[in-house]
């Protein structure tokens, strides 16, 4: 049994201590249906440590997490990976520096670049056209971006860190595509540049030989993982690992205090600790169970004529492709939810994404297999509507830096009237929250066409309000 936060909170709840302190529910059973959870919900009272100056039970929990992953230092995050990404980028920022970041990074990385007035150079992923997926960031792409940045700044490669703040990549992606983090790290470190990996979807990696290594094992300087995404942990929970000397840990801790609440939830921190404890004790066996489920899924669907499972993802991500059929990804997603009561993670143009975790059951897999076989029998090779590729929108002309454009006066115009104007707001499909358009970029016809197509087919597009998009007033 783990002698951690849960045991300590549960023991305290059984005492006769009366709470003349926050939270306002006072652990009173009359508070309603959430009362059973409130009995363990406290604030930073005596004997229960403080996340922002951990020296007791929270520090011990973080040290156990660091030992589990093999990191030098681990921090609990109760503002999700978002808080970790904002803190990590801020800790490496410097006036006028360049951040090399994957174009398919989460919007939190863009926000961090904005807040720290960083110049941005994008790293573009390879495209897996067979499944309409964004692929990995190639190590050679990173190397070329470093060389080009140094050449443009006329900088000495031995002093690259004076020009380049750092490198941020997402691995695995939302879709489960992993990059070669070990080789990217070797390139980054050869120039003395830190590597931050958004591994929000990879807290389970590195604990089974059939899965990719995690980025801590690959030597990344900062790794952020959402425990709630792939481990049995409450929504909003995450961890941040730090290694090496390229990132100033004092700065990092200061920014963690800034970007996280001063009243961290003990329920969330307990959820992190319990999820990691399960990973430590049962992780390999449960990950093997995921592997068996995926293999079963692939085997039983191998005879399908139209529905395909992408083989390029890590085992827990199931990309269900209906490319070149009469279905769109959104139609597949909606049909699985409405007819079969199977709620998937997200839908894209030609596929839908199902996620497996250590808590999935055989019953769930059986129902998904049966539903997909049923749908396959109703599918034809008649093509669904074509979509303008997102990759056509990823490299528009940049008229202003993000940090300048985002705070300028703006107005809304109809999408059809926005061509040639400068974006004043982020536009992204959600999920996954990856910007298709960034403030300061020129709005071009492929982007307008791509957005109109997706709105017309029921996709959720953030940054578009009743067919209008925010543009800079200065364009007038």
Ramachandran bin of 96, using left for φ above 0, alpha for ψ from -120 to 50, beta for the remaining angles: left
DSSP one-letter code for 167: E
pLDDT of residue 433: 77
Backbone phi and psi for residue 161, each to the nearest 5 degrees, phi listed first: -65, -15
User: Facing residues of 240 across strands?
Assistant: 75, 224
pLDDT of residue 5: 97
Look at residues 206, 212, 215, 208 and name the one whose alpha carbon lies nearest to residue 188.
215
pLDDT above 70 (res 52):
yes
In SS3 terms, 50-99 reads as: CHHHCCCHHHHHHHHHHHHHCCCEEEEECCHHHHHHHHHHHHHCCCCCEE
Confidence label for 382 from pLDDT (cuts 50, 70 and 90): confident
Tokens linked to 271: 């959820």
Exposed, middle or buried by CB within 10 Å (0-12, 13-18, 19+), for 446?
Answer: middle
Strand (E) or helix (H) holding 224: strand 222-225
Helix then strand then coil, in percent of the chain rounded to 5, is: 40, 15, 45
Backbone phi and psi for residue 284, each to the nearest 5 degrees, phi listed first: -60, -45
pLDDT tens across 125-175, in order?
A: 999 999 999 999 999 999 999 999 999 999 999 999 999 999 999 999 999
CATH number, domain 56-264: 3.40.640.10
pLDDT above 80 (res 388):
yes
DSSP one-letter code for 384: P
Look at residues 430, 423, 434, 415 and name the one whose alpha carbon lies nearest to residue 396.
423
463 CB contacts (<8 Å, ≥6 apart)?
425, 426, 427, 428, 437, 469, 470
CATH number, domain 289-378: 3.90.1150.150
405 close to 423: Cβ distance less than 8 angstroms: yes
pLDDT above 60 (res 236):
yes
CATH number, domain 402-472: 3.90.105.10
pLDDT of residue 1: 56
Residue 267 has a CB neighbour count (10 Å cut-off) of 18
129 CB contacts (<8 Å, ≥6 apart)?
none
467 close to 414: Cβ distance less than 8 angstroms: yes
Look at residues 473, 459, 350 and name the one whose alpha carbon lies nearest to residue 422.
473
Task: Give the whole-angstrom CA distance, residue 389 versus residue 131.
Answer: 12
Region(s) of the chain under CATH 3.40.640.10: 56-264
For residues 67-89, average pLDDT? 98
Region(s) of the chain under CATH 3.90.1150.150: 289-378
pTM: 0.97
Region(s) of the chain under CATH 3.90.105.10: 402-472
pLDDT of residue 476: 56
């Amino acid at each position: 049994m783990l002698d951690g936060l849960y045991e300590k909170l549960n023991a305290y709840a059984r005492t006769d201590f009366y709470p003349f302190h926050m939270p306002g529910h006072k652990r009173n059973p009359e508070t309603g249906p959430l009362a059973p959870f409130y009995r363990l919900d406290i604030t930073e009272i005596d004997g229960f440590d403080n996340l922002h100056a951990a020296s007791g039970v929270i520090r011990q929990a973080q040290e156990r997490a660091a030992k589990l992953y093999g990191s030098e230092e681990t921090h609990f995050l109760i503002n999700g990976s978002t808080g970790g990404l904002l803190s990590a980028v801020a800790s490496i920022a410097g006036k006028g520096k360049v951040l090399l970041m994957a174009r398919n990074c989460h919007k939190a990385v863009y926000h961090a670049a904005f807040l720290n007035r960083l110049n941005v150079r994008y790293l573009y992923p390879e495209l897996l056209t067979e499944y309409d997926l964004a692929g990995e960031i190639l190590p050679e792409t990173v190397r070329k971006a470093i060389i080009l940045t140094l050449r443009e700044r006329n900088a000495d490669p031995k002093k690259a860190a004076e020009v380049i703040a750092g490198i941020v990549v997402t691995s695995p992606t939302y879709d489960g595509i992993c990059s070669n983090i070990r080789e990217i790290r070797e390139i980054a470190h050869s120039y003395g540049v830190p590597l931050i990996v958004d591994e929000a979807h990879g807290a389970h990696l590195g604990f089974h030989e059939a899965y990719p290594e995690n980025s801590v094992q690959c030597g990344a300087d900062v790794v952020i993982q959402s425990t709630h995404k792939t481990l049995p942990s409450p929504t909003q929970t995450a961890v941040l690992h730090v290694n090496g000397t390229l990132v100033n840990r004092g700065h990092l801790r200061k920014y963690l205090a800034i970007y996280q609440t001063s009243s961290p939830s003990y329920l969330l921190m307990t959820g992190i600790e319990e999820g990691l404890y399960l990973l430590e004790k049962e992780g390999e066996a449960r990950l093997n169970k995921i592997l068996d489920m995926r293999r079963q899924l692939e085997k039983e669907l191998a005879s399908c004529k139209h529905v395909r499972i992408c083989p390029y993802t890590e085992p827990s991500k199931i990309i269900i492709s209906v490319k070149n059929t009469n279905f769109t990804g959104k139609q597949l997603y909606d049909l699985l939810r409405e007819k079969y009561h199977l709620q998937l993670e997200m839908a894209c143009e030609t596929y839908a994404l199902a996620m497996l975790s250590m808590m999935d059951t055989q019953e769930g897999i059986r129902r998904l297999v049966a539903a997909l076989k049923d749908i396959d029998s109703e599918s034809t090779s008649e093509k669904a509507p074509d979509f303008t590729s997102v990759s056509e929108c990823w490299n528009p002309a940049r008229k202003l830096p993000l940090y300048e454009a985002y705070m300028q006066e703006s107005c809304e115009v109809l999408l059809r009237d926005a061509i040639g104007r400068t974006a004043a707001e982020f536009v992204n499909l959600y999920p996954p929250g990856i910007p298709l358009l960034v403030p300061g970029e020129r709005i071009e016809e492929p982007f307008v066409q791509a957005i109109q197509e997706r709105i017309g087919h029921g996709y959720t597009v953030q940054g578009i309000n009743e067919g209008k998009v925010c543009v800079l007033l200065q364009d007038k």
